Amino acid sequence: MLDPSDVKSEGGRPLRKREDRSIEAEGENPAQDVYQILAPAGLDAITALRVEALPTTPLGEGAGPVGPIGNAVLRRDPHSP
């Protein structure tokens, strides 16, 4: 499991790195935002990435971690090596 060294939200949403190395987005869920997660991998290449969006207790029973359409887009930063 990667250990994030920096997490950011372009929309200014507070992101908190937890002890278990997960990242929790706090506050209002905007219609659109971009999260940047920086984590040293110590590898020559990464061939797969697993991202899990987990519900949290404050959202209520059965609530999901994203908006009503639940979409997410992952992309590689064009400025990274």
Torsion of CA 73, 74, 79, 81, to 10 degrees: -170
**pTM of the full structure:** 0.65
For residue 57, report the phi and psi dihedrals to the nearest 5 degrees: -55, -45
Name the domain count of the chain: 1
Owning domain of residue 14: 1-81
pLDDT digits (tens, 9 = 90+) for 44-66: 888 888 887 776 655 554 445 55
The secondary structure of residue 81, as a DSSP letter, is -
pLDDT digits (tens, 9 = 90+) for 15-47: 988 888 888 888 877 778 888 888 888 888 888
